[in-house]
Amino acid sequence: MERIGLYAGSFDPITNGHLDVLEAAARMCERVVIAIGIHPGKKPLFEAAERKGMIEQACASIARAYKVEIEVITFDGLVIAAAKEAKATLLIRGLRDGTDFDYEMQMTGMNADMDAKIQTVFIPATPATRHITGTLVRQIAAMGGDVSKFVPDFVAKKLATQNAKNK
């Protein structure tokens, strides 16, 4: 059976922490579907199409290195429904700390009740990326800080351009 992993998040923007988790997922799957969550109540910094383009650009080298197919989609419902639609066998979840673990364990139980055939896999953040969050990256960039250690270079440039537009 082909291992298809679904890695869901807002990816606003994609960070080095996301890429760390994705690289680990690429080592265990033949195909990884990155699912950008679209929530009507939230106003992202980047539109879905921009996020999709950044993800595709950031992930190209991982796809080549691990010979894994990476697809980027959007979804606006339940993660488990997006996983079923993508024919995923695994839900990929990154963990930074114990708070993430507690929340993700609850989600894992709920998802398993909705579809026991889709297994959740936790990937711990590496020490180098454990502290990185999209929220903090956006805040630092909005205040003129250097985020180049936390995101790919081209993403740092897009953040600077976007924040200049918003001022």
> Cα(85)–Cα(103) distance, rounded to whole angstroms?
24
Number of compact structural domains in the chain? 1
10 Å Cβ neighbour count for 74?
A: 14
- Residue 6 is predicted with a pLDDT of 98
Q: Which of 59, 103, 112 is nearest to 83 (CA)?
A: 112
Distances (CA, A) of 99 to 3, 26, 102, 118, 150: 28, 25, 5, 23, 21
In a domain, 162, yes or no: no
The domain of 126 spans 4-131
Task: Tell me: pLDDT of 1 over 80.
Answer: no
pLDDT confidence tier of residue 37, bands split at 50, 70 and 90: very high
In a domain, 52, yes or no: yes
Task: Tell me: pLDDT of 125 over 90.
Answer: yes
| Domain CATH code at residue 103 | 3.40.50.620
In a domain, 55, yes or no: yes
> Cα(45)–Cα(50) distance, rounded to whole angstroms?
10
Contacts of 115 (CB under 8 A, 6+ apart): 80, 83, 84
In a domain, 70, yes or no: yes
In a domain, 77, yes or no: yes
In a domain, 50, yes or no: yes
Which stretch of 42-46, 76-80, 87-91, 108-112 has the lowest confidence by average pLDDT? 42-46
In a domain, 155, yes or no: no
% the chain with pLDDT above 90: 93
**What would the two tokens of residue 71 be?**
């697809």
pLDDT in tens, 49-107: 999 999 999 999 999 999 999 999 999 999 999 999 999 999 999 999 999 999 999 99
pLDDT confidence tier of residue 41, bands split at 50, 70 and 90: confident
In a domain, 149, yes or no: no
pLDDT confidence tier of residue 165, bands split at 50, 70 and 90: confident
Task: Tell me: pLDDT of 153 over 90.
Answer: yes
